[in-house]
Amino acid sequence: MQAANPRRGYILGLSAYIIWGLFPIYFKLISAVPALEIIIHRALWSALFGSLLLMVWKHPGWWRELRDNPGRLAVLALSGSLIASNWLVYVWAVNNGRMLEASLGYYINPLVNVLLGMLILGERLRRLQWLAVSLAAAGVAQQVWHVGSLPWVSLALALTFAVYGLIRKKAPVAALPGLVVETWMLVPLALAWLLLNPMAQTAQPEFWTTSQALWLAAAGPVTLIPLVCFNAAARHLPYTALGFLQYVAPTLVLALAVLVYGEHLSSNTVITFACIWAGLVVYSVDAWLSLRKRT
């Protein structure tokens, strides 16, 4: 077994989260394609490139484990539908000027994980965790009060990704084989959608003579490369270190939204973000104190 190399782990982990944080640039490049069609092709190309990658990056025994535990296939079918829903909301948000809400969703995500752990897994929250969740709830409530509606993009992204992670715990399959199986289960639905929508933009032969077609096909490697980096980083870093790195991605999305794509950061939105950030600081302090007690 390869010895842990923290320096390599941080480089790989940062690479993964930076790529995820720069995803909006990629989706803006193919914004002429409707969000649903982008997800259809993301599933198809991820299934293809993931299968090719599995031939090179071996995961011995993964298929035998699934064959011997068919219940895991049902779990992966459910998790696949959740991750596809998450992709769809994210792409729609990016290409409809809602990147700030998308960023907020991924800031909220760790706190939603804590809340689901209590509600579904029966875990008991520590005092600082209660405070962190309460601050996040205050941020959402403040948004509802001033805007008059729930920040549904943020909540949809946070909930779908949190439930996705919770479900994947029930199917202990390595990340790459798991994603490949999830995407292959989406392939029949994706192909059926294309067959039932012959007038779709990507169903026209002339589309595949444009540069947009190449960018769309790149959805496969674009999806898989950060996942490979993340998996490699996980072998060299403790999970808590990866947990702190996860804030790189939504921070980059926030910066792109305001500095590059001109989304307006209102005072109400700043207050909402401040509540979430305060909750994350409390959450991080709690995680650090908990780690110190264990060591």
Tens-binned pLDDT, residue by residue, of the chain (295 aa): 455 777 888 898 899 999 999 999 999 999 999 999 999 999 999 999 999 988 887 777 888 888 888 888 888 999 999 999 999 999 999 999 999 999 999 998 888 888 888 888 787 888 888 898 898 888 888 877 876 777 899 999 999 998 988 888 777 777 788 888 999 999 999 999 999 999 999 999 999 999 999 999 999 999 989 988 887 787 777 766 676 788 899 999 999 999 999 999 888 889 888 998 998 888 888 877 876 776 6
Structural domain includes residue 273:
yes
Contacts of 230 (CB under 8 A, 6+ apart): 12, 13, 16, 17, 175, 242
SS3 helix, strand, coil % of the chain, rounded to 5?
80, 0, 20
Structural domain includes residue 14:
yes
pLDDT of the residue at 46: 94
Residues 183 and 53: their CA atoms lie apart, in Å, by 14
Structural domain includes residue 61:
yes
Token pair for 40: 């259809």
Structural domain includes residue 79:
yes
Residues in the chain: 295
Structural domain includes residue 185:
yes
For CA atoms 55, 18, 279, 285, give the dihedral sign: positive
Residues 67 and 14: their CA atoms lie apart, in Å, by 35
Task: Map tokens 């993009």 to a residue.
Answer: 153
One-letter amino acid of 182: E
Token pair for 259: 């500095």
pLDDT of the residue at 184: 94
Structural domain includes residue 238:
yes
Domain span at residue 248? 6-294
Residues 183 and 200: their CA atoms lie apart, in Å, by 21
Helices 99-119 and 152-168 cross at an angle (nearest 10°) of 40
CA dihedral 227, 233, 237, 243 (to 10 degrees): -30
In total, how many domains does the chain have? Answer: 1
Residues 138 and 9: their CA atoms lie apart, in Å, by 35
Structural domain includes residue 1:
no
Helices 71-94 and 99-119 cross at an angle (nearest 10°) of 150
One-letter amino acid of 45: W
- Alpha-carbon separation of residue 217 from 29, 42, 145, 147, 206 (angstroms): 13, 8, 42, 38, 15
Structural domain includes residue 35:
yes
What are the φ/ψ torsions at residue 292 (nearest 5 degrees)?
-65, -40
